[in-house]
Amino acid sequence: MRHALLHATGITATLVYAGAIVWVYATQPRTFQDVTQGARVAAGAYKVDSARYDTALSLFHRGAFRAARGEWERADPARADARTQFYIAYAFYREGWGRLYHDDALYGQGLQAVDRALALTPAGSLIVDDPDLKMHTAAELKAELEKGRERSWGDLNPMRVLEERK
């Protein structure tokens, strides 16, 4: 066959380019930075900024949840690291937890983050070994966040004030 190499090159280039276009339309990057980050994630070359991650973790342990979330967002701008998203969700939970009532808006954002963490761990449940935490899996955290957003007669139980933050 004449020019078989040219045809093979054309087919490969077309399929690769078409795949990239489908990926762009599926992921909807909003900036060039999103495009490069997404490409790094797809290629498996994406890494969380470990220095920012550690800073965020120390802020979290000191109770500065909002600051910790900000650092984690900067450490994982592509929102592609399950562990970081778990901690972000946990920070939402702890900030939104109240002895008398829970902040629905923060719990809602926490649910979104924990859903991202779960989506990033399709092989199994995510387990985080941190002695400071009382919930170590994303599934537990999700259940707690969902429970906090539910409305029931149990919310009027005065014994609720004795509940502990996890």
Partner 1 sequence: MRDDAARRRTASRVILLPLVFLTVALLGGMRVTPDRAFVFLPPPLITLVMAALLASLFLRGRLVKLDAWLGSRHGVLVNVSHALTLIALFFASAQAFNSVLPEQGLLHWMFAFFFLWTLWNDQFSAFDPRRLLRSLGVLFGTAFVLKHMIMAGLSAPGGSWTRRLAGMVFEGLSLGTLDVPAVAPATGYISFFTLALYVIGLALVAPTPDEPGEVRLLLHEASRLGPTERRALREALEEERS
Can you give the binding site for partner 1, defined by CB under 8 A?
A: 1-4, 6-11, 13-15, 17-18, 21, 24-25, 28-31
The length of the chain is: 166
Q: Which is nearer to partner 1, 5 or 43 (CB)?
A: 5
- The least CB distance from residue 34 to partner 1, in Å, is 8
- The least CB distance from residue 26 to partner 1, in Å, is 9
- Report the DSSP beta bridge partners of residue 137: 127
Q: Which is nearer to partner 1, 13 or 119 (CB)?
A: 13
| Residues near 86 by beta carbon (within 8 Å), at least 6 away in sequence | 113, 114, 117, 126, 128, 138, 141
Which residue type, as a one-letter code, is found at position 112? Q
Q: Which is nearer to partner 1, 16 or 51 (CB)?
A: 16
Q: Which is nearer to partner 1, 10 or 63 (CB)?
A: 10
- The least CB distance from residue 48 to partner 1, in Å, is 24
| Residues near 88 by beta carbon (within 8 Å), at least 6 away in sequence | 69, 72, 73, 110, 113
